[in-house]
Amino acid sequence: MSLIEEAAAVRHNAHAPYSGFKVGAALRSVEGRVHLGCNVENVAYPEGTCAEAGAIAAMVAAGDRRIAEIAVIADSPAPVPPCGGCRQKLAEFAAGDVVVTMATTAGATLRLTVADLLPGAFDAGFMANAEKGTP
């Protein structure tokens, strides 16, 4: 099954009673394992979880740490890119020039790299001079 197909299947498990906007994500780690996530809404909207964040959490829980590729799908007129927070999460775990395939349930797709989605990403290199453990 392709990553888009995996994302489409897990999308049906999304918990979206408030918006009705279900999103599925499937990522493949550099180890070759597929990890899935779907959005989980909460009545307090900021407390919900995006599909991409859920897939990353599943990857980390399984012991993998690097994303090789990811696909995201939603029922939308155009492919939906990850939100800003998820772009930063993807950048944290992306291995090299990771491709993000965004798709609609109607079959439209858009492929961009994580770097295209988040130019100038904040990374650990910016913290090289940080004092650690100092109050």
The answer to whether the annotation marks 13 as part of a ligand binding site is no
The answer to whether the annotation marks 60 as part of a ligand binding site is no
If phi > 0 it is left, if psi is from -120 to 50 it is alpha, else beta; for residue 96 that is: left
Bridge-based pairing of strands 34-38 and 23-29 is antiparallel
The answer to whether the annotation marks 38 as part of a ligand binding site is no
The answer to whether the annotation marks 41 as part of a ligand binding site is yes
The answer to whether the annotation marks 98 as part of a ligand binding site is no
The answer to whether the annotation marks 50 as part of a ligand binding site is yes
The answer to whether the annotation marks 40 as part of a ligand binding site is yes
Q: Which of 5, 31, 52, 92 is catalytic?
A: 52
DSSP symbols for 39-93 = -B--SSGGG-B-HHHHHHHHHHHTT---EEEEEEEESSSSPPPPPHHHHHHHHHH
| Burial of residue 74, with CB atoms counted within 10 A of its CB: 0-12 exposed, 13-18 middle, 19 or more buried | buried
Any catalytic annotation for residue 52? Answer: yes
Binding residues for substrate, as ranges, are 39-45
Binding residues for Zn(2+), as ranges, are 50, 83, 86
Binding residues, as ranges, are 39-45, 50, 83, 86
Active site residues: 52
